[in-house]
């Protein structure tokens, strides 16, 4: 279901419209001025060995992987994942709404954000849950301390087995962060290893979120330096931007030190939150989301979207697009889990959404008409810029005007068709905003 009676613009049509305008400038508008590609930094240009291919594309890949499902105890979920500006898709996931057997009322979900390749993330997405369950610490008695121990042991065993496979098959580099939620009838167990993040919304507010593991955090930095590493430009040895991950074995070679004492630790931070009837939804997402939007903003945005949309896949898609047009240059993956207490479709909210889109359409028409009256030919950027400087009441909280770009761009092209019904548009492809970032292992 779309958000309102006027919200029927599909993304492929949006992209077709968008590329017909001055795309480099439009991209800059949506991305807050995060610029175009540097001169001479096109991937594959030239044959000199010293030229490192850019990790970014000339235009984003906006095709999305989505899935949805439910558990018998009332949980519903959806996944959305998109490659975006990155040259490769390195995110993986695991969604198991029912573990089965005596754990039929337990669920497991995880996002794996790979770096320096996708091999480690893919491997861990296939094996981590099995390693956790193989510890024998998870059972119907639901003992929090035993479950926490099982999760930690499962991560360490996965990393150990991964190392053996890597040596046998010649994997030279690469790692993955992991954020996971194991949901029992009484508790939610959060496991975080790296800078992906989980957030729980309860009674409309952020109730809990995991802490990112960055090299510059005091305890992480102390461990890194004790293992013989350094932290510069907020990265381990000036290169890796996370301090905990599975894989990354080139950072785990300090002699006479336990796996959890290496520069990069495979140990997750596990937190237990008792479940409540006031629990609304839970989000697991990679840093392609959290680098762009805060916990509070995302909580407010999803809370609002759930009142106007029944399709959780569409909500995930809206979050992904919002992050992309707020400036995310990374792969973007999100899992949205809704509990029985999640916001429900609201007739009042749907009415307000329709009124908002009516208002946006009328504002676009006014701006277009004014520009034409001045003898100017309105382009998309001019309309967007003028609209952005206008006070628009009722925009989705946490999303702002960027979350309604489909409606705005559709309205613009309606005006263009009205004024120039026979105009022919030439397609121009956008330039990457990120070639200047070079070849660091993780962003």
CATH number for the domain that contains residue 223:
3.60.40.10
**Residue 29 falls inside a structural domain:** no
**Residue range 133-184, pLDDT digits in tens:** 999 999 999 999 999 999 999 999 999 999 999 988 877 689 999 999 999 9
Tokens of 182: 């194991």
Q: 84 with 332: CB under 8 angstroms? A: yes
**Residue 312 falls inside a structural domain:** yes
**Residue 208 falls inside a structural domain:** yes
The number of folded domains in the chain is 1
Please state, in angstroms and rounded to a whole number, the distance separating the CA atoms of residues 182 and 152: 12
**Residue 110 falls inside a structural domain:** yes
**Residue 356 falls inside a structural domain:** no
Mean per-residue pLDDT, 51-61: 88
Neighbours of 372 (CB within 10 A): 14
pLDDT at residue 50, as a whole number: 56
Q: 162 with 174: CB under 8 angstroms? A: no
Tokens of 195: 């800078």
Please state, in angstroms and rounded to a whole number, the distance separating the CA atoms of residues 435 and 54: 6
pLDDT at residue 53, as a whole number: 81
DSSP for residue 441? S
Please state, in angstroms and rounded to a whole number, the distance separating the CA atoms of residues 322 and 140: 40
Between 396 and 421, residue with greater pLDDT: 396
Tokens of 159: 């990393």
**Residue 146 falls inside a structural domain:** yes
User: Range with the lowest mean pLDDT among 17-21, 93-97, 127-131?
Assistant: 17-21
The pLDDT > 70 percentage for the chain reads: 83
Q: 268 with 193: CB under 8 angstroms? A: yes
Residues in CB range of 56: below 8 A, 6 or more apart: 37, 43, 85, 86, 87, 329, 432, 433, 434, 435, 437
DSSP for residue 438? T
* Coil vs helix vs strand at 443: coil
Please state, in angstroms and rounded to a whole number, the distance separating the CA atoms of residues 216 and 222: 9
pLDDT at residue 421, as a whole number: 54
Please state, in angstroms and rounded to a whole number, the distance separating the CA atoms of residues 188 and 106: 10
**Residue 214 falls inside a structural domain:** yes
pLDDT at residue 133, as a whole number: 98
Q: Which domain covers residue 208, as residue numbers?
A: 64-344
Beta strands in 6-163 (DSSP E): 56-70, 76-86, 91-96, 107-115
Strands 279-285 and 332-338: antiparallel
> pTM (2 decimals)?
0.84
**Residue 286 falls inside a structural domain:** yes
């Amino acid at each position: 279901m779309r958000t309102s009676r006027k919200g029927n613009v599909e993304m492929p049509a949006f992209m077709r419209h968008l590329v017909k305008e001055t795309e480099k400038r439009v991209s800059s508008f949506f991305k807050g001025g995060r610029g175009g590609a540097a001169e001479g930094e096109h991937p594959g240009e030239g044959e000199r060995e010293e030229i490192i291919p850019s990790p970014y594309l000339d235009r984003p890949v906006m095709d999305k992987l989505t899935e949805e499902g439910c558990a018998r105890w009332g949980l519903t979920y959806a996944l959305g994942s998109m490659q975006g500006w990155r040259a490769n898709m390195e995110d993986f996931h695991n969604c198991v709404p029912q573990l089965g057997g005596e754990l039929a009322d337990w669920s497991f979900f995880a996002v794996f954000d790979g770096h320096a390749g996708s091999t480690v993330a893919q491997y861990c997405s296939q094996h981590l849950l099995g390693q956790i369950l193989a510890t024998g610490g998870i059972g119907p008695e639901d003992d929090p301390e035993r479950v926490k121990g099982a999760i930690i042991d499962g991560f360490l065993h996965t990393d150990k087995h991964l190392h053996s496979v890597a040596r046998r098959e010649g994997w030279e580099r690469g790692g993955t962060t992991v954020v996971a939620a194991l949901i029992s009838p009484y508790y939610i167990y959060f496991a975080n290893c790296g800078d992906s993040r989980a957030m729980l919304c309860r009674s409309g507010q952020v109730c809990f979120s995991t802490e990112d593991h960055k090299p510059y955090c005091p305890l992480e930095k102390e461990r890194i330096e004790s293992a013989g590493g350094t932290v510069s430009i907020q990265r381990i040895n000036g290169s890796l931007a996370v301090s905990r991950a599975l894989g990354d074995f080139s950072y785990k070679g300090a002699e006479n030190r336990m796996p959890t004492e290496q520069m990069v630790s495979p140990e997750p931070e596990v937190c237990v939150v008792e479940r409540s009837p006031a629990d609304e939804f839970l989000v697991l997402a990679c840093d392609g989301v959290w680098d762009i939007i805060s916990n509070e903003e995302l909580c407010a945005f999803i809370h609002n979207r759930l009142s106007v949309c029944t399709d959780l896949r569409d909500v995930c898609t809206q979050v992904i697009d919002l992050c992309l047009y707020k400036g995310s240059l990374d792969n973007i993956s999100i899992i949205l889990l809704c509990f029985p207490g999640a916001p429900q479709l609201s007739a009042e909210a749907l009415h307000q959404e329709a009124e908002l889109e009516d208002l946006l359409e009328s504002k676009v028409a006014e701006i277009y008409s004014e520009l034409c009256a001045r003898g100017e030919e309105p382009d998309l950027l001019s309309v967007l810029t003028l609209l952005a400087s206008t006070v628009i009441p009722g925009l989705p909280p946490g999303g702002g005007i960027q979350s309604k770009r489909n409606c705005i761009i559709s309205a613009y092209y309606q005006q263009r068709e009205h004024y120039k019904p026979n105009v022919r548009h030439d397609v121009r492809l956008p330039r990457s905003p990120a070639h200047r970032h070079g070849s660091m292992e993780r962003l």
